[in-house]
Structure 1
C-alpha cells in the first residue's frame, strides 16, 4: 500500500496538486489510510491545494469519459439523465474495469469491496449479513432502506444510459467509494445534492466529530485552488482529521460503515414510540402545525418537536373545524400558545415526563433484547454501540 500511496502522490503532483511536506499518508490499523503530521503543522496551513481541473466531479468526469463525443450527446445522455452520484459511480466503474486507466493511480488506493463489509447496504446487496439489518434501530433501518432504493435506482439508470451489462459487485464498490468519499463543492446551477467532488488523498482523512480542518476554494497567486486547511495546531505524529458533518452514529454506520465510541452528536430517536401515542386526529394537527415526526432526546434535553408532540399526545381533545366545544377550543388555544412560544408549556411537563419514562423503559427493554442476540465481530460491535447509547440516554429519562 505504501508504494501505491507514493505513486498516487507523484501522479497528483504531475497534475499540479500541491501536497505539503508537513503531512504524509499512511495505513492506520482498523481505519484504512490516514493522514499524519510528519512535522509540526500550524493552524492555517494549506496541506493540500488542488487546481479545480484536478478534482473529480461531474464536469471533469464527463470531460474524461466523453472527450471524443459531441457536446450534444454528453448534454442529453449525461446531464439530463444522470445525477452526480450516478455519473461519478459510473466513471469509477469505468476506470476500475479499463486497462491502463488515466486514473489508475487513484483507483488503486480506493477501498475494495471487502473494505465496505461493515456497511448495511453491502450486507443487503451481497446477502452477507441481511439478518443484522433487522436488528438495527428503526430510524437506522429506514436509512438503510433509502440507500437500497437509491442504489437500485442508480444501477438501473447507469445500465440504461451507459452499458447494459454491469458487474454488480464492481459497481457497488464504485458507488460506495463515491458515497463515502465525496466532498461538497458548489457547482454553478446544480442543486446541493449534486455538488459532489472527489479529491484524491484528501479522501484519506478519517472522521472526527469535532472539525480539525476546513475545505474551501481560495485564490492563491491569482489562481483558484481547492484547499484543505488546518484549523488547529498539530504535533509531529498526530493524525489529522476532517469532520464529515454533524452526524449521529446510525448515519455514520449506514453511510461509512463505522461508529464512534464517543460521539458528541449522539441522540435517541423516539419517533416510533411517540407516534404510537397519537391518534389520526392528533397526527393531522401536528402535520398542519409542522411538527409531525422526527422526535429526539439527548442526554441533556428533549427536542422542542418532542415537547410539542408529547403535549398533543396528552391532550384529551383536539378541536376539529366543526367543533364548538369550549373545552376543545381552550385546549387548542393553549397548545397553539405553547407551539408559538407565547406559553412555556409548564402545564404539560409533569405528564410528559411520565410518558417519557414509559418510553424510556421500553427503549431499554428493546435494547437489552437485541444486545443479547449479538456476537462479537465488528458488525455486532457497531450495532451494540447504537443500542448502548440508546440505553444510556433513555436511563436519564426514567422517573
Structure 2
C-alpha cells in the first residue's frame, strides 16, 4: 500500500478527520495537501485530536527517568530523543512519510561550515542558536542513552552514526512542530515559549503560505484547521508558519520563498561600522543599538534613530528619540545617508554571491539556495534604493 494511504488509514482510525483535503506528492516539491473538492471560507478541513499528538506527555516515563533531572536538555531535545529511540512501531505509518535525512539538506545546520559562514546575518544568528541548543541536547541524550552512540568522530568525541540519527530527529522536531500547551511542562522547573511543542500527523504535511491558508486553533479536544479563503478542487491548501522573513524560513525550515510579503533584512553590517564607540554607547543607553531592519516598504524606527545620530546634533537627536521632534527637518539628510549605506550593501551582497559561486563544498542545492537568498536581499535593497533616488531627486 502507498505510504500516504497507510498514513491516512492510520490517522483516521485514531480520530483524525480530513474534510475535503488529502496529502499528495507534488512533483519537485515533496508532499503537500491538496483540496479534493471546492472548499469554502471558514470550513474546518482538518481535526487532529489530542490523543494523536506526540508531546512531552507521550514520551515513555522510563525514557524520561533516564534523562533524570537534567536541566540542560530542552523539550525539543527530549522529543527528538523519543523519535530517534522509538522502536515500538506505534507510529510506523506516520514515521514512513516524514522527510529522510537527504530531504533536510536545505537546513543550514547540515551545511558545510564554509557555506554557513556566508549566510545573511539574521540566518547566521539563528543557526548559532541552533548549534548551541543542539550541542546541549546531544550531550544530555548521549550521556543518558549510550546505545545511541554507534561510533566516534575524528576527534574522539561522541560524533558518529548515532549523532547523525539524533540530528535528523532533532531537525524534524525543529521544522515540523506546532505550538502546544502541555500540562507536563508545569512540572519542569525551567520552560520557555520554545518548549511548547507538539508533533501531529497529517497536519505536519501542510506547506507554508506567507498569507492566507488555514487558521490553526488549539482547544481542549485538539487542533482544528479552518480555511480562511475559498480553495478550488486540486489547489494546494497551506497554512502560515508565521510572519517570518526569508532568513528565518531558511534557517528554521530550510527553504526560501520566491515572494514573501514579510521578508526583511538586517542592515547592522553597514550601519554599525559608521558609528564610533561613543555613539554606540549612546544608542545602547537609549535602547536602540543594533537590529536595524529593512522590509519591503521602508526601514524601521530603530534605523531612523541610529542614522539621525550620524546626521543631527545630539540635542535634535534626543528630541527625536523622546518624541518631541517628528524628525521631518532631518529626514532629507537621513535619506541621503541611507541611500549611501544601501549602495555599500549592494557591493557587499555582490561580494558574498561571488564568494559562494567559487566554493566547491556542500550540495549544489545548498549553494543555489544560499545564492537565491542573497538575491532576494538584493531585490529588497534595490527596491529601496530606487525609491530613495526618486524621493531625493524630487
Give the TM-score, by structure 1 length: 0.84
Aligned to 2:213: 212
Following superposition, the deviation at residue 217 of structure 1 comes to 2.5
Determine the structure 2 residue equivalent to 1:53.
Answer: 51
- Listed one character per residue, the Cα deviations across residues 330-379 of structure 1 (whole Å, up to 9, x for unaligned) are x34x3232112221112332322232122111111122223334459432
Q: CA deviation at 1:184?
A: 0.7
Report the Cα distance in structure 2 between the residues aligned to 1:347 and 1:77, rounded to whole angstroms. 62
**Distance across 2 between alignment mates of 1:11 and 1:79:** 35
SS in 2 for 1:386: helix
- Shifted more, 277-286 versus 155-164: the winner is 155-164
What TM-score does the superposition give when structure 2 sets the normalisation length? 0.85
Q: 1:370-391: per-residue Cα shift (whole Å, max 9, x none)? A: 3334459432332222222222
Q: 2:204 and 2:198 mapped to 1: Cα distance?
A: 10
Distance in 2 (CA, whole Å) between partners of 1:12 and 1:53 is: 11
Q: Is the 8 A contact 2:55 2:182 kept in 1?
A: no
CA distance in 2, matches of 1:81, 1:383: 32
CA distance in structure 2 between the partners assigned to 1:361 and 1:147 by the alignment:
32
Q: 1:102 aligns with which of 90, 96, 100?
A: 90
Structure 2, gaps ≥5 residues long: 150-161, 358-362, 390-394
2:76 counterpart of 1:85: yes
Aligned Cα RMSD in Å?
A: 2.3
| Cα separation, 2, equivalents of 1:231 and 1:208 | 12
Task: Report the counterpart of residue 247 of structure 1 in structure 2.
Answer: 244
Q: Spell out, residue by residue over 1:262-290, the C-alpha distance to the aligned partner (whole angstroms, 9 max, x if none).
A: 11112231112111122222212211211
Structure 2 equivalent of residue 142 of structure 1 = 125
Decide whether the 8 Å contact of 1:364 with 1:390 is kept in 2.
Answer: no
* 4+ residue runs over 6 A deviation: none
Contact 1:208-1:243 at 8 Å conserved across structures: yes
Instruction: Please say which of residues 46-55 and 194-203 is displaced more in the overlay.
Output: 46-55
Structure 1 Cα separation of the partners of residues 180 and 197 of structure 2: 6
Q: Distance in 2 between matches of 1:192 and 1:286?
A: 29
- Cα shift readout 1:280-305 (whole Å, capped 9, x = no counterpart): 22212211211111001124211000
Using the TM superposition, give the Cα deviation of residue 239 of structure 1 relative to its aligned residue in structure 2, in angstroms: 0.3
1:143-158 equivalences in 2 (<5 Å): 143-158=126-141
Q: What residue number does 2:225 align with?
A: 228
Structure 1 CA distance, aligned partners of 2:93 and 2:103?
18
Partner of 2:108: 120
Work out whether 1:289 is the aligned partner of 2:271: no
Q: 1:170 aligns with which of 165, 172, 187?
A: 165
Give me the whole-angstrom Cα distance separating, in 1, the residues matched to 2:26 and 2:169: 22
Decide whether the 8 Å contact of 1:42 with 1:232 is kept in 2. yes
CA distance in 2, matches of 1:390, 1:8: 39
CA distance in 1, matches of 2:272, 2:259: 29
Q: 1:374 to 1:50 in 2, by over 3 A?
A: same
Q: How many residues align?
A: 363
Task: State the Cα distance separating 1:52 from its structure 2 match.
Answer: 1.1
The 5 A counterparts of 1:293-308 are: 293-308=290-305
d(CA) in 2 for partners of 1:389 and 1:352? Answer: 25
Q: Which residue of 1 aligns with 2:348?
A: 366
Higher relative contact order (CA closer than 8 Å, sequence separation 6+): 2
For residue 340 of structure 1, the aligned residue among 280, 301, 322 is 322
Secondary structure at the aligned position of 1:24 is classed as: strand
State yes or no: 1:184 paired with 2:179: yes
Q: Note if 1:10 corresponds to 2:9.
A: yes
Q: Structure 1 residues 102, 299: closer, same or farther in 2, change over 3 A?
A: closer
CA contact (8 A) 1:186 1:192 kept: no
Any idea what SS the aligned residue of 2:303 has?
A: helix
Once the 2 structures are TM-superposed, how far is the Cα of residue 164 of structure 1 from its aligned partner?
Answer: 5.9
* 1:12 to partner: Cα distance: 1.5
3-state SS of 2:68 partner: helix
Relative to 1, partners in 2 of residues 1:263 and 1:346: Cα closer, same or farther, differing over 3 Å? Answer: same
Pair 1:81–1:359, CA change in 2 (3 A): closer
Check conservation: 2:77, 2:137, Cα contact below 8 A.
Answer: yes
Mapped contact 2:288–2:302 kept (Cα < 8 A): yes
